[in-house]
Amino acid sequence: VALAQTTINGRVTSAKGGEGLPGVSVVVKGTTSGTTTDVDGRYQLQAPANAGTLVVSYIGFANQELPINGRTTINVTLQEDQQALEEIVVIGYGTQQKSLVTGAISSVKAAEIATVSSSRIEQALQGRTAGVTVLPASGSPGSGMRVRVRGTGSNQSSEPLYIVDGVRTGGIEYLDPSEIASIEVLKDAASAAIYGSEGANGVVIISTKTGKTNTSDISYGFQYGVQSVGKLMPMMNAQQYQQYQEEAKSTPRPTAAEAAAVGKGTDWFDEVFQSAPQQRHTINFSGGTENSTYLVGGSYFTQKGIVGDDKSKFDRYTVRINSDHKIKPWLNIGQRLSYSNFSRSSLAENDEFGGLITSALSLDPLTPVIYSGQLPAHAQAALEAGHPLARDENGNYYGISNFIRGEYGNPVARIALAHGNTVQNKLVGNIYADIEPLKGLKFTSRFGIDGAFQKQHAWTPTYWFSSESQNSIASGSDNQNNWYTWQWENFATYNKTIGQHNFTVLAGTSAIKSTSNFVGGSYSGLFREDDNFSYADGTPDDNDRIGSNTTISTLGSFYGRLAYNYAEKYLLNATFRRDGSSRFAQGNQWGNYPSVSLGWVVSNEDFFPDTNINHLKLRASWGQNGSTGNIRPGQWFAAITPSGKYLDANGNYLVGASPDIISNPNLKWETSEQVDFGLDLGMFNNRLTFTTDFYNKKTKDLITAGVAPGFAGNPAGDVNGGNVTNRGWEFELTYRSDAASTFQYEVSGNITTVKNEVTFLNPNVNEILGANIGTTWPGATVFDVGYPIWYLRGYKTDGILQNVEEVNLYKANITGGGYSPQPGDPRIVDLNGDKQISSADFTMIGNPHPDVIFGARVNLAYKGFDLLAFLQGQIGNDLIMGFNRTDRATANKPAFFFEDRWTGPGSTNSWFRANTNDGAVYSSDLMVFDGSYARVRQLQLGYTLPNTLTSRIKIKSARLYVSLDNYFTFTDYPGLDPEAGSNNANSLGIDRGTYPVPRLAMFGLNFNF
């Protein structure tokens, strides 16, 4: 019998913003009558005449049931679901309801990522979640980010493992933030253990955006910003420089008359820093039908440098095609595919030997940028000696210093002389098939690739700054690097519920093969000093060099997981992974990685009282992970390698060959073991959420470069050198307004404490010396028991020797020598009491690791306006000002060296006299500064156009915003940037002339059609 039908229509809108919601399910309760809303949120359905209730549901919003009461037009306003805890988090090889997670997993969603202004997705993690540190390696365009999960766990690379859509990738620099749906960070061992030998430094899982069924969307984003340098460190002007050098008796130094002739002289920072633009366009097309969804997107990003403009430039475009298809009721297939291309030009930075910023720091203020009139005598003499002095585009000679030589040179000229760039093409993706032969059982097979193909090209024209910094013949180089990894994974998941018992079981295998190929060469004698002739074809062959190599490594794995819960109250997760790696000797190839974690959702207990607490969960986990990133294939055995060549008496080469290291067939996996105790709390219907974790992470059998005594006759290979612990607390607190209120706000903050300590050292290794600074500070960082990893080491000082009597008194106790101070020099402490000052007196003078890292955010929204403020910082880390070299005594120095200097008895007890060449003074704690800082990462004001306006112009939503990024920094560090970074783990905390992170003033807009 056909019942009478009525037509009901209406529009579903969001309570926040009021825009139409597409794809919302609208169903007549208890019937099969239903539909989904169109792009404007409109729907129309046929309902039985006696229909009573309409059910409206949409992911991320609270369901609503509305009595029909005979109405034919029903408009619905949906509230966003405050049950944030019900969100789904991505875990290795699967997903889990957040409320049931037993590990320490932090999650960042697309909405938060949307405000990011950087080209780097890592920035989305910065300061947002406890336990995750993200620091830029440098402020130059396209430079990397250093991501640390719960401290520095290893002595070499401590980068986490990156999994993008299930594919492990070498890095995530190829992703644009607009491509990302979510980022999860698996912080504790139990969560990461499913990645076994690669999970020791944490795992970052990234899921890219996909289309949604029954939608069709276009979103476009645009950003334009201007970067500028923040606070500059004042350097000595010409008079200060001259006076300082005079007092220090450095040679060759200028006379007072020479200094007076140039006034304040050249401010090299003014000359090299400038404002520089950056721009980003992103577009995504997405949509789908019941059986297929798709997303096609692309982005373009371009950034010039605040030093060097287009000589320090980064361009990147990305293309993404994601699709999923339901081929059969039991078969889903799909693919994630991303292509990116970047081009980067860069200048030498963070290098006390000839880095560009270091040249700007070091060059004397008496040297002009260019010579406009007559050349001074020393430049004239160089010209007459036939040296190729560099000229600017107008034909003027660039200034060459008469006082500071060495590796330095006029930084403006150096920028002009830099030619070259790196271009990388990268393809990352996978194809997958999900088969569900019976309900609850799913089998997944996926094949992924990560291929990067990189070309570096550079050439150097002839120039002459000094006998130590010159190029007498134009030369070039080309390098090609290819990295290619494939992985094939097969795993099955089975879900079963028996009464209140819920089981999910996973079992799988994985095979990964990575290869890298390098070929490169250099050549000289370019036909013309011009880009067009900067290739080896057309140069004489005599000076050509070529090199090439290949590495191959494989990893085979078995893994499984049991997730169990009883009535969502008692939670258990157990995982196991067994990994085999070709990097080790037979017999040491396999490692086992177990984990177990438990949870108790107290708030789900019947006895739990009815309070404002709506969610309370206690968690505990233990697990083991490994790390192989630090070990190259074949490191465990001594190989016969061509060790060099030797000229015989007829002038022909003989080849020599010898073992390259002392073998260590016992070399084994680095293992990280971690316990974690956590608490999750939700109050006031989750308007307040709080999470805290205590973690203790112990990295055992750390793989380090071995140290052999010299008499062993060959370098030691890698050894399992020691243990490191990182332990601390993490706190995350968020408070947000009621979803219904017009004024929306959210305040959140996170704090992490980290205590890092080396707890064991292989007795065959003793201390391990890390980075040197300049030529007079060996082992400025050290790996040793009882200290933080790569702590800062140097002389301890105890005030300034004020007069001759104090000097004599001091020298009476330093009969062995090693340091010969004058009044005004620091009192260097003879720590070991051997009556001489030597590096045996070096001691810990600083800790490069922060004690506390923190982030805080405020979001406000009112009637279309929104404001975002985001602060991030760290406390307790030390920095060495490492660009002052005593072997280059006449290099310019920061002005405070002059202003704060000791000038006579009693003048100061905290800073030394003019002294440019005493290695002991410059290897002391006087060079160590507090590196704590707080930086306002973002201050963003946005406006979302009202729906009444956007619907008229057929736009779903439009938001305009302005943003100030990295604009305000609070720090006591006198150098250019407290985030002075380094990619080398053992150089952390050493400022060798860092490229400061620029400030950015930006305008942006987002449209959704």
Partner 1 sequence: TGCEDFLDREVPGKLSEEGFYLTDSDALQATTSIYDIMQAHYNTAWTSIYMVKLMPSDESNAAGSGPGDQPAYQNLDDFNFDSENAAVKAAWDLTYRAIFRANKVINKVQPENALRKRLIAEAKFLRAFNYLELVSLWGDVPLVLDEIPAEQFTSTSRSPKAAVYAQMEKDLTEAIVDLPLKSAYSGGDRFRVSKGTAQALLGKIHLYQEKWADAATQFETVISSNEYGLESSVGRVFSKAGEFGKESLFEISYSSIEGYNWGNFPWGSQPESNIHLQLMGPRSDYYVKAPTDSLIGGWGFNSPKAKLFDAFVAAGDTKRRATTIMSQPELEAKGGKWTTDSGYEYEGFFQRKYGTYLSQTSSEEGDTPELNYGTNWRMMRYADVLLMAAEANYRTGSVGKAQQYLNMVRLRSELPAVLAGGTDLFNAIVRERQLELAFEGFRYQDLVRWGLAAQELGPLGYKQGTHNLLPIPGTDVRVAGLSQNPGY
Site for partner 1 in 710-739 (CB under 8 A): 710-714, 716, 719
489 - beta bridge partners?
446, 510
Query: Closest distance between partner 1 and the C-beta of residue 304, in Å?
Result: 27
Q: Give kind and range of the element (H or E) at residue 416.
A: helix 411-417
Of the residues 692, 838, 951, 1008, which one makes contact with partner 1 according to CB under 8 A: 838
Q: Which listed residue (475, 802, 874, 947) binds partner 1 by CB under 8 A?
A: 475
Cis omega (within 30 of 0) on the bond before 252? yes
How many chain residues bind partner 1 (CB under 8 A)? 103
Minimal distance, residue 817 CB to partner 1, in Å: 5
**936, 985 in Cβ contact below 8 A?**
no
Chosen residue from 840, 862, 899, 909 binding partner 1 by CB under 8 A: 840
What does the H/E/C string look like for 751-776? Answer: EEECEEEEEEECCCCCCEECCCECCC
Rounded Cα–Cα distance for residues 179 and 367 (Å): 49
Specify the DSSP element, H or E, that contains 248.
Answer: helix 238-248
Segment 546-585, which members bind partner 1 (CB under 8 A)? Answer: 549-554, 556, 580-582
- Could you tell me which stretch among 52-60, 216-224, 244-252, 264-272 binds partner 1 (CB under 8 A)? 244-252
Q: Which of residues 250 and 338 has its CB atom nearest to partner 1 in the complex?
A: 250
Which one, 232 or 657, has the nearer CB to partner 1? 657
Measured in degrees and rounded to the nearest 5, phi and psi for residue 12 equal -105, 125
| Residue-wise DSSP of 962-998 | EEEEEEEEEE---SS-TT---SSGGGTTEESS--PPP
CB of 187 to partner 1, least distance (A): 30
524 binds partner 1 per the rule CB under 8 A? yes
**Interface region with partner 1, contact rule CB under 8 A, candidates 321-329, 732-740, 810-818, 867-875:** 810-818
Return the number of the residue (12 or 716) whose C-beta is nearest partner 1: 716
The b-or-e profile of 893-931 (16+ CB within 10 A means b, else e) is bbbebbeebbeeeeebeebbbbbbbbbbbbbbbbbbbeb
Write down the least CB distance from residue 825 to partner 1, Å. 15
Token pair 């946005």: residue: 942
Mention every residue, 6+ apart, whose C-beta is less than 8 A from residue 261: none
Of the candidates 54, 379, 889, 990, which one interacts with partner 1 according to CB under 8 A? 889
205: left (phi over 0), alpha (psi -120 to 50) or beta: beta
Burial 821-853 (b: 16+ CB within 10 A, else e): bebbbbbbbbeeeeebbeeebbebbbbbbbbbb
Of 155, 151, 208, 152, nearest to 182 (Cα)? Answer: 208
The DSSP string of 184-215 is: EEE-SHHHHGGGGGG-TT-EEEEEE----TTE
776 binds partner 1 (CB under 8 A): yes
Instruction: Between 15 and 657, name the residue whose CB sits nearer to partner 1.
Output: 657
Complex with partner 1: residue 224 or 518, whichever CB lies closer: 518
Kindly tell me which residue out of 657, 804, 949, 953 binds partner 1, with binding defined by CB under 8 A: 657
Residues 60-99 that bind partner 1 (CB under 8 A): none
Of 211, 706, 824, 894, which lies in the binding site for partner 1, with binding defined by CB under 8 A?
Answer: 706
Work out which of 114, 233, 708, 858 binds partner 1, going by CB under 8 A: 708
Q: In the chain, what is the greatest distance between 2 CA atoms, to the nearest angstrom?
A: 116
Binding mask 382-421 for partner 1 (x = CB under 8 A): ---x-------------------xx---------------
Q: In whole angstroms, what separates CA 513 from the centre of its chain?
A: 25
Piece of the chain touching partner 1 by CB under 8 A; list 326-334, 340-348, 883-891, 930-938: 883-891
Judged by beta carbon, residue 375 or residue 427, the one nearer partner 1 is 375
Of 709, 833, 948, 952, the residue at the interface with partner 1 (CB under 8 A) is 709
User: Could you tell me the two tokens for 729?
Assistant: 């607390």
> What spatial distance separates the first Cα and last Cα of the chain, rounded to whole Å?
43
Query: Beta strand 94-97 with 167-169: parallel, antiparallel or unpaired?
Result: unpaired
CB of 700 to partner 1, least distance (A): 18
Query: How near is the Cβ of 556 to partner 1 at its closest, in Å?
Result: 5
Identity of the residue, 75 or 764, whose beta carbon is nearer to partner 1 in the bound complex = 764
**Smaller CB separation from partner 1, 193 or 404:** 404
- Name which of residues 788 to 807 contact partner 1 (CB under 8 A): none
The rounded distance, in Å, linking the Cα atoms of 957 and 951 is 8
Q: Write the interaction track for partner 1 spanning residues 899-928; mark x where CB under 8 A is met and - where it is not.
A: ------------------x-x---------
Q: Does 817 interact with partner 1 (rule: CB under 8 A)? A: yes
Q: Decide if 13 contacts 41 (C-beta within 8 A).
A: yes
CB closer to partner 1 out of 638 and 1005: 638
DSSP state of 39: T
Q: Which is nearer to partner 1, 251 or 495 (CB)?
A: 251
Q: Per residue in 701-711, is it b (16+ CB within 10 Å) or e — as a string?
A: bbbbbbbbeee
Answer yes or no whether residue 818 interacts with partner 1 by CB under 8 A.
Answer: yes
Identified binder of partner 1 from the candidate list 13, 422, 466, 734, rule CB under 8 A: 466
Partners of 279 in the β-ladder:
224, 302
Nearer to partner 1, 438 or 649 (CB): 649
Q: Give the helix/strand (H/E) hosting 257.
A: helix 256-261
Residue list 924-963, contact with partner 1 (CB under 8 A): none
Do the Cβ atoms of 676 and 693 come closer than 8 Å? yes
User: Which residue lies nearer to partner 1 by CB, 46 or 472?
Assistant: 472
Find the shortest distance in angstroms from Cβ 658 to partner 1.
4
Q: Mark residues 617-656: x for contact with partner 1 by CB under 8 A, - for none.
A: ----------------xx--xxxxxxxxxxxxxxxxxxxx
- Enter the tokens of residue 470: 């010159």
Which SS3 state, helix, strand or coil, does residue 896 take?
helix
Backbone angles phi, psi at 280, to 5 degrees: -145, 135
Pick 532 or 815: Cβ nearer partner 1: 815
Of 252 and 799, the one with the shorter C-beta distance to partner 1 is: 252
- What part of residues 6-45 is at the interface with partner 1 (CB under 8 A)? none
Which of 274, 471, 696, 1008 is close enough to bind partner 1 by CB under 8 A? 471
CA-closest candidate to residue 851, choices 726, 765, 954, 762:
726
In which residue are the tokens 């800062």 written? 792
Distance between CA atoms of residues 316 and 640, nearest Å:
43
Output the smallest distance, CB 403 to partner 1, in A: 11
Residue 741 within binding range of partner 1, rule CB under 8 A: no
| Nearest distance from C-beta of residue 511 to partner 1, angstroms | 7
Residue appearing with tokens 């200028």: 254
Closer CB to partner 1, 233 or 473, in the complex: 473
Distances (CA, A) of 529 to 388, 545, 756: 12, 19, 51
**Site track 318-357 with partner 1 (rule: CB under 8 A), x = hit:** ----------------------------------------
887 binds partner 1 (CB under 8 A): yes
643's CB contacts (< 8 A; 6+ apart) are 656, 657, 658, 660
Among 767, 806, 900, 930, binds partner 1 (CB under 8 A): 767
Q: Under the criterion CB under 8 A, does residue 477 sit at the interface with partner 1?
A: yes
What residues from 859 to 878 belong to the interface with partner 1 (CB under 8 A)?
A: none
Nearest CB to partner 1, comparing residues 67 and 817: 817
**How many other CB atoms are found less than 10 A from the CB of residue 74?**
18
3-state secondary structure at position 238: helix
Q: Is 490 in the site for partner 1 (CB under 8 A)?
A: no
